[in-house]
Amino acid sequence: MERTGRVVIVDPAYASDVGHHGDVNTRLLAALGGRDWSVQCWADAAVPAAGCRGVFRDCGYVDPRHWADLGGTVHLARRMESQLHRALAEQGPVGGWVMHTALPFQLLGLARALCHCPAADVVVSLMFAPGETLEGPGGEADATSNCRVALGALARAVERGGHRLRLLLPSQQSLELYAPLLAAAGLTCTTAVHICYGYGIKANIDWKGTLGEEWRQYEKIFPAIAKSSIKQVSLECYHSHVPPHLMKLLQGKDVLVGVIDVASDEVETPEQVADTIGLALQYVPKERLFACTNCGMAPMKREIAVRKLAAIAKGAALARQRYG
């Protein structure tokens, strides 16, 4: 996101410091604040948490029947829109909007408000299934229809306001559920695939021990990926036995190259990260290269993971100085 104006996390359902909303928002506030962003979470008026502003009233998990009923959805969205406008009138411009775990009426409320806001970065994480009612599995036809309405409103708001939208989906299954709704709304999303050799369990370690000094399995799958509609490929590189020249097989794709070893607690230096980026640049155009980790960092101690992520940022900055 561009560093213009405040970043606002919009979570009208955040009404208590207990539960996953508190965990997610606390981490978002810490992560963005730690990178010198001016950030605030706009939550329910009842929430007591630090970094939060009580903007919303009765815009959270209210009567579930309203989520599936279009009239109720629009009614609640208008209420949320009004409260957003009131909050915006009391502060300067917002440069970035972040919304996660949103129900359709909450997404619709944000979309309606964005129609009257200056251009900004908008990040929306679609965590619920399209037909989610929180009373059981997703799939209710009315709730899915409301989700389609909300996504359509979001698409129009983005086009009208010149916003820069990024949609996040938690899994391939979610992408498949949302794909027809996104297409109907005129929204597209970047598709990506992560390929690595696995980590953390004895069977996997034993298997990798049989592969020899040079791992060439990527050589078999990369040509197929290059011909596919997938836009981005995330792969391991640093401390990997994969020949780096195989990245040449991914012509036309964005390559998220692993510059961090997630199997080690040793924190990479910015110089090591920049060296790996320089190696990858021999095979991938710089406009298609993104620094990433070899795999997920969930099993790692948080403080080590944070230091490794900081190494990516510093190493990427050093690489820009070195390679332009």
Per-residue pLDDT of the chain (324 residues; tens, 9 = 90+): 555 678 999 999 887 665 678 888 888 898 888 778 899 999 998 887 889 999 999 888 766 666 667 888 899 999 999 999 999 998 778 999 999 988 889 999 999 999 999 999 999 998 888 877 766 555 577 788 888 999 999 999 999 999 999 888 877 678 778 888 888 888 876 778 888 888 777 888 888 888 888 888 889 889 998 998 889 999 999 999 989 999 999 999 999 999 999 989 999 999 999 999 999 999 999 999 999 999 888 788 989 999 999 999 999 999 999 998
β-partners of residue 167 are 124
The count of domains in the chain is 2
User: pTM here?
Assistant: 0.65
- Classify burial at 316, counting beta carbons within 10 Å of its beta carbon; exposed 0-12, middle 13-18, buried 19 or more: middle
Looking at 163, 185, 207, which one is the last position of a domain? 185
Q: What is the pLDDT of residue 278?
A: 97
Q: What is the pLDDT of residue 35?
A: 76
Question: Is 1 part of a structural domain of the chain?
Answer: no
Question: Is 77 part of a structural domain of the chain?
Answer: yes
Residues 61 and 171 in one domain: yes
Residues 139 and 158 in one domain: yes
Domain that holds residue 278: 192-323
Q: What is the pLDDT of residue 258?
A: 95
Q: What is the pLDDT of residue 21?
A: 85
Question: Is 18 part of a structural domain of the chain?
Answer: yes
Residues 38 and 175 in one domain: yes
Residues 174 and 300 in one domain: no
Residues 239 and 281 in one domain: yes
Residues 109 and 26 in one domain: yes
Looking at 169, 185, 201, which one is the last position of a domain? 185
CATH number at residue 201: 3.20.20.210
Residues 216 and 133 in one domain: no
Residues 261 and 164 in one domain: no
Q: What is the pLDDT of residue 158?
A: 93
Q: What is the pLDDT of residue 207?
A: 85
Residues 162 and 219 in one domain: no
Residues 134 and 215 in one domain: no
CATH number at residue 67: 3.40.50
Residues 36 and 156 in one domain: yes
Q: What is the pLDDT of residue 108?
A: 95
Looking at 127, 151, 185, which one is the last position of a domain? 185
Residues 156 and 288 in one domain: no
